Amino acid sequence: MRDMAKIQQLVGNITEQDLKYVECFVAESMGIFIPSVGFCKYAIRPSHTHPSYSFVIFHTKEQNFIDRDINVPDKHYLAYMIKPMVPHEEKVSDNFVRYIAIFIDKDYFENIYRKYTPETPDFNNVWNQFSVKHETIYYIKKFMTEYSERIAGYKDILEALSEIICHTLVREIIGAKTEKNFTYDNFEIESIIEYMHQYFGQKITIEDLAKKANMSKSHFIRVFKKATGLSPMDYLIDIRIEKAKKLINAGTKNISEISLLCGFSSTSHFSSTFSKHVGISPSKYYSMYSKN
- Residues 121, 9, single domain; the answer is yes
- Asked, for residue 266, whether it belongs to a domain, the answer is yes
- Asked, for residue 181, whether it belongs to a domain, the answer is no
Q: Which domain holds residue 266?
A: 187-289
Q: Does residue 67 contact residue 80 with C-beta atoms inside 8 Å?
A: no
- Residues 52, 73, single domain; the answer is yes
Bridge partners, residue 55, by sequence: 81, 102
- Residues 127, 218, single domain; the answer is no
Query: What pLDDT does 71 receive?
Result: 85
- Residues 73, 136, single domain; the answer is yes
Any idea what DSSP says for residue 183?
-
- Residues 36, 116, single domain; the answer is yes
Query: What pLDDT does 180 receive?
Result: 47
pLDDT digits (tens, 9 = 90+) for 133-189: 888 999 999 999 999 999 999 999 999 999 999 999 999 988 865 544 444 457 788
- Asked, for residue 182, whether it belongs to a domain, the answer is no
Any idea what DSSP says for residue 292?
-
Q: Give the highest mean pLDDT range of 6-10, 37-41, 223-227, 252-256.
A: 6-10
- Residues 125, 262, single domain; the answer is no
Last residue of a domain, one of 140, 174, 208: 174
Cβ neighbours of residue 134 closer than 8 Å, sequence gap 6 or more: 75, 76, 77, 183, 184, 185, 187, 190
Check pLDDT > 80 for residue 14. Answer: yes
